[in-house]
Chains A and B, each alone.
Chain A
Amino acid sequence: GNSVTQMEGPVTLSEEAFLTINCTYTATGYPSLFWYVQYPGEGLQLLLKATKADDKGSNKGFEATYRKETTSFHLEKGSVQVSDSAVYFCALSDDNTDKLIFGTGTRLQVFP
Chain B
Amino acid sequence: GAGVSQSPSNKVTEKGKDVELRCDPISGHTALYWYRQSLGQGLEFLIYFQGNSAPDKSGLPSDRFSAERTGGSVSTLTIQRTQQEDSAVYLCASSLQGGEQFFGPGTRLTVL
Does A associate with B in a complex? yes
A contact residues vs B (CB 8 Å cutoff): 42-46, 49, 89, 96-105
Q: What number of A-B contacts does a CB cutoff of 8 Å give?
A: 46
B contact residues vs A (CB 8 Å cutoff): 31, 33, 35, 42-45, 48, 50, 55-56, 59, 91, 93, 95, 97-98, 100-101, 103-106
C-alpha spacing A42/B89, complex, angstroms: 13
Query: Contact partner of A43 among B31, B55, B56, B106, CB < 8 A?
Result: B106
Cβ–Cβ < 8 Å partners of A103 in chain B: 42
Cβ–Cβ < 8 Å partners of B105 in chain A: 42-43
Q: If the complex has contacts A89-B43, A104-B42, are A97 and B104 also in contact, measured as CB distance less than 8 A?
A: no
C-alpha spacing A46/B56, complex, angstroms: 23
The residue in chain A whose Cβ has the minimal distance to the Cβ of B56 is: A97
The minimal Cβ–Cβ distance linking B104 to chain A, given in whole angstroms, is: 6
Query: Are A99 and B100 in contact, CB atoms less than 8 angstroms apart?
Result: no
The minimal Cβ–Cβ distance linking A43 to chain B, given in whole angstroms, is: 5
